[in-house]
Amino acid sequence: MGWKGVLLCGAMLLLGAQALQAGFYYEQELYTPPNRGEPARTTTIVGFVSGPKVRAEDRSSKILNVIITRLDQGLIRLLVPERKVYVEMPIPGADEQSAPPVQVTVTQTTQTRKIGPYQCTRFEARTGAQNLTLWLSTDIDVPNEEVATYWQAGTRLYPLTLTRELAKLPGFPVRVEVMAQRASVVTTVTRVVKQEVSAFLFEVPYDYQRGLTIQAPPEPPAQGEPGP
């Protein structure tokens, strides 16, 4: 191998090393019970978290959908690999000044339960619009800032201002049961693996075409405040 080949190999190795970041891989199930004539549904999600970035892949559909959430950019991108297109939208509530405050009351109970391989403690959280039962585990060894990232982006079920409050609780959310007026959802994490994650997972491939930008829906009003 000539000196040019050595330099090329060295550059590729350096690029690969820079592309790996600390993070974790997770698997979860989203269960929606029957509601208003709609059948129950279970969605299987696999995802990756690194710093302020999350990639979630819906493995339940025949057509793979990918959602990349970039808290560092304030954007959510939806990728459709089959068509090589993507759309993006601002993260609801990412603007601190425009995001309404969410009043949340959290109570830690003495109830414990093993969910999968993880020993969990039950918490109850209440807001003006939702009641949440949280099963948190300290068995999962991932950095607090990445637990906060998972809360704020990985679930995508709650207002960002609410998840910022929930992220202050101790432990990883293994199971979250949300009871709301319109619908209920149960999210259960079945596996978490701490590992290095490729930075390329959180980028849009170069050969994808961008679709129209989607405007973010407004966050729900704070408790006691009228809606628009």
pLDDT at 130: 78
pLDDT at 33: 82
pLDDT digits (tens, 9 = 90+) for 167-200: 889 999 999 998 876 668 899 999 999 999 999 9
Report the phi/psi class of residue 84: left, alpha or beta, with left for phi > 0 and alpha for psi in -120 to 50: left
CA distance 216 to 228: 15
Domains of the chain: 3-210 (2.50.20.10)
Distances (CA, A) of 181 to 139, 171, 217: 33, 27, 19
pLDDT mean across residues, the chain: 80
Low-confidence spans in the chain with pLDDT less than 70: 1-18, 63, 93-102, 154-159, 181-183, 212-228
